[in-house]
Structure 1
Amino acid sequence: FRLVNMYNPGTFDIDNMEQFSTAGVSLFMTLPCDGDGLAAFNMLHSAAKKIVDEFGAHILDAEREVMSVERVRQYVEQVRAFSA
């Protein structure tokens, strides 16, 4: 999966990370993917939860609504459909 800045240019200036500030980041993955898609999604979701804990953020879904348990289940089913 990938992590990008939500704002242009979407990248991170590694040499100046100490001064970096943004109002949001986006985690995403494409399907099908190399390897175990469900494991990749689980790692993505775990990373998102760690960001939430560290920065007091919120996880939003593709419609920019607060991520619900039901939405996570839907995403898991989508990942499984690509793996079948």
Structure 2
Amino acid sequence: MLKELSEECKNIKENTSDAFGKLTNNAEEAAKDAKFSTQRAAEDAKINAQRAATDAKLNAQRAAEDAGNAVQRTIRDAVN
């Protein structure tokens, strides 16, 4: 009876150790996945910000050109 209890305790200890090891591995994998996802999101945000800045710059340049053209038309119309 004592031998059986000892064996059962040993099995419980091994199972607990295995379960803890699996949980630890799962936690490490989840941390790696989270780190990768965070890095990817940061890279995507940087790219999107760069695109938005480029678009804003181009839009400002176009608006300045349009304003310059409007001034030239106004001057031409006033002269004619």
The alignment's TM-score, normalised by the length of structure 2, stands at: 0.27
Q: Which has the higher helix share?
A: 2
Q: Which has the higher strand share?
A: 1
Q: Of the two, which has the highest radius of gyration?
A: 2
The alignment's TM-score, normalised by the length of structure 1, stands at: 0.25
